[in-house]
Amino acid sequence: MSGKLSVTESRRNGRVLQTLRRVWSHLTRYTARWAYLLAAVCVIIYALVPDEWEISDPVKQFVLILSSVAVGAVVLPELPSNLWTIDVEKVRNLIPGAQRTTLARSLIEAESEDQRWNELVWLKALDPLLEASRKPWQYVRDMDYDVSVHLGRTLQLGNERVPVHSVSVDHKSSRVLARPGMDAVWLSIARTGSALQSEFGEAACLAREIVPLGTLSGQAWQNAIVSTCHAELYVDGDRVELIHEVTPERPDLVRWRTPVEFELPTERVRVRVQFDFHLDPSVDTFPVIFSGYYCAGTTDIALRLYDENIPSELECDYYVGRALDETGHQGISQYNNGVYRQFAFSTGRDGILWPGSGVMFRWKPKP
């Protein structure tokens, strides 16, 4: 019992000390110090004004009023009580952006004694997220990324049938397509790693894959990609007719671009990308990487492996940037129904994945 009493007493003493610190901080804040100075000046002026002056009474009355106002400023709250109930529109209309930023940083710093940590929280976490809110194409919502891999298939290339793994990607998300200076979006297939990397740097590229086909290169490779790969784009459920684009200037790329007459929507829309392509049979991994945007809300990534021709084992690793105390986290799940085996990653209902997050699927033949 004495232990419980001591704990209760300690908490009570802690609250008393906290209250005393707040009172002291309030009475010695910047505004209060100026109020003390003004009140002292008023007292001195009141004492020095000669009674024989014709205007001594009005001057003394004015000084008394001014000193009372100064003393009142010491005890009055620093911020009006309605500040805590002010709505978003009034904050935006009444408080300039620079002052809002200063207030936000002060509120963050009040939560931690580690000022270096507070600075990093603002510069490397909150500020980038808020900047993305002003550029809504930098984050997607509620992503559903499904991959199907069929091992041990063949593909007709001219007069020759070559072994491949066939891949289908069905990618759905809510996103903003339009951005300043951009009049089209596209899907792309690359022959080489450098060509694929260049597409990652293109803001208009919604999806890209690398598909080398044997020893084919240049126009022969481009023609084979156009005839054997398939790409489709749906915006709010409507299919957009894409135009494949091959040029000698980009011999290691094939793009499926939206036509000139298609106007990119400026509002957030539901976007679906479907991709069918082929992998060299030596490939045993499939990475899903979100390199240029945040993923908000629910993010589900799944790969189904159809291995009837090459019985295999499927594995999965994920590397994601997210909060440690994320709730509803499901992580990796596994499924096998005899027809295909599947690994899936999910963030749960409410999450944010940072750019660079991803999931790596890999398979290997059963021993």
Cα–Cα distance, 332 to 317 (Å, whole number)? 8
Average pLDDT over residues 271-296: 91
Residue 173: strand pairing partners: 271
DSSP 164-198: EEEEEEEEEEEE----TT----EEEEESSHHHHHH
pTM of the entire structure? 0.74
pLDDT for 6 beyond 60? no
Average pLDDT over residues 170-181: 92
Domains and CATH numbers, the chain: 2-78 (no CATH), 138-365 (2.60.40)
- CA dihedral sign, ordered 265, 268, 270, 274: positive
pLDDT at 93: 73
pLDDT for 328 beyond 60? no
Summarize pLDDT for 29-54 with one digit per residue, the tens: 777 788 888 888 888 888 888 877 77
Could you tell me which of 338, 365, 359 has the C-alpha nearest to residue 147? Answer: 359
Task: Check: CB of residue 45 under 8 Å from CB of residue 63.
Answer: yes
Summarize pLDDT for 310-321 with one digit per residue, the tens: 899 999 998 888
